Structure 1
Amino acid sequence: MWISRFDIRPHTIAHTADTLADFGAVLGVRLFPIGTEQQDSILVVDEHGRVFALDQAGEWFLGDTIDAALTTLLLGRAPARVRDDGTWPVG
């Protein structure tokens, strides 16, 4: 993968409430916007502190915590793709 440029500015993506509600329903949790990744993906955190990226290609699990997600983004690690049933490969 590659290192991703991101912005942590929730107010810039406040208009994504419907998208977050739909993905949150799949996961069974509430989601909150935290920023964008390269202006293409929406970065969100769930009520358990897990971080995801949503883009036109799908939904991606970045980490169990903000620290883990930032490590994924800053080191260019490949995120796990979230399946249609709201799960993702662990490992």
Structure 2
Amino acid sequence: MSERFSPEVAQVLRDHGWFEGRRVAEPTSQAVQIVCGYVGRAGERHQPFPAVVEALNEFGGLYVTQDGAGRDLARRPFAIDPTMAAATPETLADFGRVIGARLFPLGIEGDYQAILAMDEHGRVFSLDHAGEWHLGDSVEEALTTLVTGRQPARVRDDGTW
């Protein structure tokens, strides 16, 4: 059993290909290269940083299929694949200015209903049509929020939650 996750969360992640010590460095490197190739209208570009590379090395390529009731919200499928949210340099640059940190795409939630992104401090956010949500201060907290259907904190206009 993982001490980083509750038994429930660890089991869901294991059922979808994760295991303690998992490393997918080569696919992560390729995905980061693809994502960094996207350029926004004003020249915005995604720039990787250690926290996101570390998270992708361990969790990249996980496609979690789930549904049903969660603790607070319905559980939705999600994918940890930054290439699925690569065309977001403008969106993440704008949100980065709000929270005062650079962001890099982690993947998507639902059927492309939300972008998952990590900031340079390791915090994870979900951006959808209704706003921006703080999923956790770490990838572990964010995965727990996503797997359990826990209500994330709404990010306010001043960048706090």
Compute the TM-score of the two structures, normalised by the length of structure 1. 0.94
Structure 1 distance, partners of 2:113, 2:96, is 19
Shift of 1:4: 2.1
**1:19 equivalent in structure 2:** 91
Q: Give secondary structure in 2 for the equivalent of 1:29.
A: coil
More helix by share: 2
Max Rg structure: 2
List gaps (5 residues or longer) in structure 2.
1-72
Aligned residues: 88
Shift of 1:11: 1.0
**1:28 equivalent in structure 2:** 100
Q: Give secondary structure in 2 for the equivalent of 1:15.
A: coil
Cα deviation digits, residues 14-52 of structure 1 (max 9, x gap):
110000000000111000001000020000000000000
List gaps (5 residues or longer) in structure 1.
none
**1:82 equivalent in structure 2:** 155
**2:134 equivalent in structure 1:** 61
Compute the TM-score of the two structures, normalised by the length of structure 2. 0.54
RMSD of equivalent CA atoms: 0.6
Structure 1 distance, partners of 2:97, 2:91, is 10
Structure 1 distance, partners of 2:145, 2:131, is 17
More strand by share: 1
**1:72 equivalent in structure 2:** 145
